Amino acid sequence: MPGPDTQAAEVRALLKQGAVAEADARVGTWLAREARSADAWYLRGVIANLRRDHAAAIAALEQALAIRADSALAWLALGSALARADAPQKAANAYREAIAREPGWADAHFNLGVVLKRQGERAAAMRAMHAAWSRDPLMFDAAKQCVATIAECVRRGEAHPAPCSAVVVEARPSFTVVLCSIDDAKKRRAIDLYRRLFAGYDCDIVAFGNARSLAQAYNEAAAASSADVIVMSHDDVAILDPDFAPRVVASLARLDVVGIVGSTRMDGPAIGWSGHPHLRGWITHRPPGEAGWQVDVLSPGPCADGLALLDGVVMATRRAVLRAVPFDAATFDGFHLYDLDWTYRASRAGFRLGVAGELLVVHASRGRYGAQWHRHAERFCNKHAAGGAAAAPSSFFGATLDTVAEVRAFFATLRALGDEAVASA
């Protein structure tokens, strides 16, 4: 007589082939010989779930757990049967039992989040969804549900994250902020923004009005600057974190270049080309004419190191990095791909790149991908032997909010969830 492992493998093979009736018959024979086999009762419950006979599934799985109470698989399957039998509270308890035995199971956390949300327990649901997403970056349903549930809690006034503590840094480096703008109103707004953010710091703001390219402007500003840190920014951003300056200082204590969104891989001429799970960062988009604020999230945590590429919407680096790796103003003689080329070469040169989504940058554009972009994308691919494979599927996980206060609350909540995940790891 084959052992239990062999019998279980044979039943699973039949289920994989879709031979449900034959699998059930095998389990019946197995139980006739060995009535107290937890494995056989578990598989009978799995088969009953497949047949949507949830009452039979619950009975079989409870029998399995009466024999072997520490079976995380049986608890997980029981949770699914109870959820489908419209017993969400019992299902939540079963999923918690599974998680207690296997904390790393993303499926158990996600399923717990689903039933909690069904019961209106949104705060607990978003924690469970975040736990699932953190454990499996490719669980896109968990990412979408996590972001959507946080946004729903924020809109309903149910999210109460702890106030973000002020960032205290001992270092007080000097800064040069570099902007390029042909729009006088945008230029004034950007200058005023950075003057406010860097109040109390030694900071020069260099604003080009007719730069031939961003690469040229950044190289010229870095060459003329004596500051410790160079901040390079688009002219159409808002920054909602009042502690922007000390956060940049803190980030550059462990990094050489810090940005907002990026990727751990370079496979083509866009941040998202490599797809998930390589993408990192948080950003908010609010193009002109749009009333709402679109919070867009690439990864569950605010900060990430070890990146290969950064988007250029806002970047900060020590001036020494720009001396070692200047922008390629000859190849990228416009306003596209200069950022990917520079950050990729900096990472290849051994400099440490990362993102700090908690800087709360708002960009008034989602990018333009017209003829000029395609021209520079071709140059980028030729230079770096990239783009040979098609772009992988990628997505910002987003939600639309109505006010700046809601945006701050959303990201404060997401940050708090990340802190909880780190503390419990």
80 lies in some domain:
yes
Select from 106, 138, 156 the last residue of a domain: 156
Model pTM?
Answer: 0.92
DSSP SS3 for 363? strand
Please classify residue 274 by burial: count the beta carbons closer than 10 Å to its beta carbon, then call 0-12 exposed, 13-18 middle and 19+ buried.
buried
pLDDT at 273: 96
414 lies in some domain:
no
β 203-208/303-305 pair status:
unpaired
181 lies in some domain:
no
Which of the residues in the chain have pLDDT under 70? 1-4, 164-165, 422-425
Taking a C-beta distance cutoff of 8 angstroms, is the pair 278, 138 a contact? Answer: no
* E strand or H helix that includes residue 62: helix 54-67
Question: Can you give the CATH number for the domain in which 316 is found?
Answer: 3.90.550.10
Question: Can you give the CATH number for the domain in which 72 is found?
Answer: 1.25.40.10
Where do runs of H (alpha helix) occur along 85-167?
88-101, 106-118, 122-135, 140-156
Cis preceding-peptide flag for 277 (omega within 30 of 0) = yes
Distance CA 94, CA 211 (A): 62
Taking a C-beta distance cutoff of 8 angstroms, is the pair 232, 190 a contact? Answer: no
Beta bridge partners of 239: 361
304 lies in some domain:
yes
Domain shared by 267 and 129, yes or no: no
Please classify residue 388 by burial: count the beta carbons closer than 10 Å to its beta carbon, then call 0-12 exposed, 13-18 middle and 19+ buried.
exposed
Please classify residue 371 by burial: count the beta carbons closer than 10 Å to its beta carbon, then call 0-12 exposed, 13-18 middle and 19+ buried.
exposed
Domain shared by 21 and 111, yes or no: yes
pLDDT at 425: 61
Chain-centre distance for alpha carbon 384 = 26
The letter for the amino acid at 251 is: S
Residues with Cβ < 8 Å from 100, sequence gap 6 or more?
Answer: none
Report DSSP state, residue 161: P
Domain shared by 142 and 280, yes or no: no
Domain shared by 128 and 269, yes or no: no
Instruction: Return the ∠ at Cα 209 (arms to 288 and 245), rounded to 5°.
Output: 70
pLDDT at 168: 81
245 lies in some domain:
yes
pLDDT at 423: 67
pLDDT at 4: 63
Instruction: Return the ∠ at Cα 205 (arms to 199 and 209), rounded to 5°.
Output: 145
Distance CA 339, CA 347 (A): 12
Distance CA 178, CA 409 (A): 30
β 314-318/257-259 pair status:
antiparallel
Domain shared by 44 and 149, yes or no: yes
Assigned token pair, 312: 């250029």
How many domains does the structure of the chain reveal? 2
Domain shared by 126 and 260, yes or no: no
Select from 100, 131, 156 the last residue of a domain: 156
**Domain assignment of residue 110, given as a range:** 4-156
**Tens of pLDDT, residues 123-141:** 999 999 999 999 999 999 9
Residues with Cβ < 8 Å from 41, sequence gap 6 or more?
Answer: 31, 60, 61, 63, 64, 67, 74
Taking a C-beta distance cutoff of 8 angstroms, is the pair 218, 178 a contact? Answer: yes
Distance CA 331, CA 18 (A): 57
Distance CA 246, CA 253 (A): 11
